């Protein structure tokens, strides 16, 4: 069974209507099934997907996706409705789709959403914090980013890590270097 890497999940999360969502075709790719299987699961369990769990994209939203993300070129001329799963919708879908890969994918999706929320909370505290608190917040943010970006299981062990923080006229730069080796 292929393990889904956190950065693979994070790359699929997009912002539509102020919500962090994953499009049905991306959900299907993560679960290793056809998009029609995801949509069948929703159709057969409509009571589990109230408003706020899933929504259909408008034609203009679909057009914007195609223009901004190469992976959606294949749907450019499709007449099928695209569905966007919110975090709640993905949790509910996890109760329906049952397979070892689905369970692992669901865990990875939940972890990614949790890390993104943690990062957002940390960054939102920055303007109000004093210099020491800002440093602590930046360290936590760098750790979360490191977990998302560098948590790939590529068979190599992390042999060292270096994090640099710079505050430059109100702009913050975070640089994390991860050294890997066998």
Token pair recorded at residue 100: 């070892």
pLDDT tens per residue, range 1-17: 444 555 667 788 888 99
pLDDT above 70 covers what percent of the chain? 66
127 domain-assigned: no
* Same domain assignment for residues 96 and 147: no
Average pLDDT, the chain: 75
pLDDT tens per residue, range 160-169: 555 444 444 4
pLDDT at 20 over 80: yes
Which residue range(s) make up the domain with 108?
Answer: 6-117
**pLDDT (0 to 100) of residue 124:** 73
Categorize the per-residue pLDDT at 21 as very low, low, confident or very high, splitting at 50, 70 and 90. Answer: very high
Stated pTM of the model: 0.58
> How is 93-146 classified by DSSP, letter by letter?
HHHH--SHHHHHHHHHHHHHHHHHHHHHHHHHHGGGS-HHHHHHHHHHHHHHHH
| Mean local confidence (pLDDT), 25-50 | 90
124 domain-assigned: no
43 domain-assigned: yes
* Same domain assignment for residues 28 and 54: yes
pLDDT tens per residue, range 132-153: 777 776 777 666 666 655 554 4
Measure the CA–CA gap between 81 and 98, rounded to whole angstroms.
24
* Coil vs helix vs strand at 115: helix
| Mean local confidence (pLDDT), 70-94 | 85
Token pair recorded at residue 64: 């914007």
Convert 120-139 to b/e letters by CB count within 10 Å (16 or more is b).
Answer: eebeeeeeeeeeeebeebbe
**pLDDT (0 to 100) of residue 179:** 57
* Same domain assignment for residues 87 and 43: yes
Categorize the per-residue pLDDT at 90 as very low, low, confident or very high, splitting at 50, 70 and 90. Answer: confident
Directed axis angle between helix 24-31 and helix 100-125, to 10°?
120
Categorize the per-residue pLDDT at 94 as very low, low, confident or very high, splitting at 50, 70 and 90. Answer: confident
* Same domain assignment for residues 158 and 86: no
Domain count, the chain: 2
* Coil vs helix vs strand at 61: helix
């Amino acid at each position: 069974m292929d393990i889904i890497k956190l950065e693979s999940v994070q790359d699929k999360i997009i912002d539509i209507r102020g919500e962090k969502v994953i499009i049905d075709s991306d959900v299907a790719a993560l679960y290793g099934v056809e998009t029609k299987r995801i949509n069948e699961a929703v159709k057969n369990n409509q009571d589990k997907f109230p408003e706020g769990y899933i929504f259909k994209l408008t034609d203009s939203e679909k057009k914007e996706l195609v223009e901004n993300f190469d992976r959606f070129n294949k749907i450019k001329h499709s007449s099928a409705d695209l569905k966007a799963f919110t975090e709640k919708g993905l949790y509910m879908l996890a109760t329906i789709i049952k397979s070892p890969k689905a369970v692992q994918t669901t865990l990875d999706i939940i972890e990614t959403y949790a890390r993104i929320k943690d990062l957002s909370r940390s960054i939102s505290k920055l303007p109000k914090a004093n210099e020491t608190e800002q440093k602590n917040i930046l360290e936590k943010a760098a750790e979360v980013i490191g977990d998302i970006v560098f948590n790939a299981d590529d068979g190599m062990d992390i042999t060292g890590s270096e994090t640099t923080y710079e505050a430059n006229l109100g702009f913050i730069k975070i640089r994390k270097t991860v050294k890997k080796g066998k």
